[in-house]
Amino acid sequence: MTHFDDDELPDSGRPWRRARGIFVLAELSGPAADRIAELQRQWDPKLAAQQSPHVTLIGSSGAGPIVPGTTEAELRSAVEPIARATPPLVLPLEPAHRYMQTEIVVLPMSVNGPLRALHEKIRTSGLKFLPARFAFSPHATLSFYPTLTRPAARALLQVRVTEPVVIERLSFSLTNDPQPPTRLFELALGG
């Protein structure tokens, strides 16, 4: 049976929930990640409390979540060679951006280049995925939950993080909203 997000069933009357499945996060490190965490604590404490700064590599954009019945052995078999062959990534951040008709403010990253290559290798690894909701749009989220006042939105949209972010590991987690994600395992890039 195919699972659809609630927003794909508009007659349901239910609010959107993430599809149950396995997400792949590229965790951010370095001074830029510290700055992003500081901004999250300032502008969206709920987001900051949930998870450290990251880019959702698989699960929401470009590729939907990996089907939830995938075993850890299947995951590792598909992605360990990719992680081993991918050196740690050092990536610039673009100026803050607000997604149209939302309260979500992010620091985008280039949709092309090494992060896209890593995304595509996982997407074409033979794993099975649920439908993607959006085109690939890598970013670090600054504010997700609060309704932004005009001054807050203006301040957030002026944010510039000039240091690059560093991605040294991937984190795999099973989501089943509204429960918190269950972390499955991590893989270091470059072996």
pLDDT in tens, 42-77: 999 999 998 899 999 999 889 999 999 999 999 999
Q: What is the pLDDT of residue 7?
A: 38
Q: What is the pLDDT of residue 11?
A: 41
Provide the token pair at 118.
Answer: 């890593």
Q: What is the pLDDT of residue 130?
A: 94
**44/144 Cα distance (integer angstroms):** 7
pTM: 0.85
Q: What is the pLDDT of residue 60?
A: 86
- CA atoms within a 13 Å half-sphere pointing along the CA-CB vector of 61: 15
Strands (E) across 2-160 are located at: 21-29, 54-58, 89-91, 97-98, 105-108, 139-143
**189/91 Cα distance (integer angstroms):** 14
In the chain, the domains with their CATH numbers are 18-188 (3.90.1140.10)
In what helix (H) or strand (E) does residue 121 lie, and over which residues does it extend?
helix 114-123
Residues of the chain with pLDDT under 70: 1-19, 191
Helix, strand, coil content of the chain in percent (nearest 5): 30, 30, 40
Respond yes or no on whether the N-terminal peptide bond of residue 10 is cis (omega within 30° of 0).
no
174: left (phi over 0), alpha (psi -120 to 50) or beta: beta
Q: What is the pLDDT of residue 134?
A: 87
Which amino acid would we find at residue 169?
R
Q: What is the pLDDT of residue 107?
A: 96
Q: What is the pLDDT of residue 128?
A: 96
Q: What is the pLDDT of residue 18?
A: 57
Max intra-chain CA distance, the chain:
49
Q: What is the pLDDT of residue 111?
A: 92
Whether the CB-CB separation of 146 and 131 falls below 8 Å is answered with: no
Q: What is the pLDDT of residue 51?
A: 87
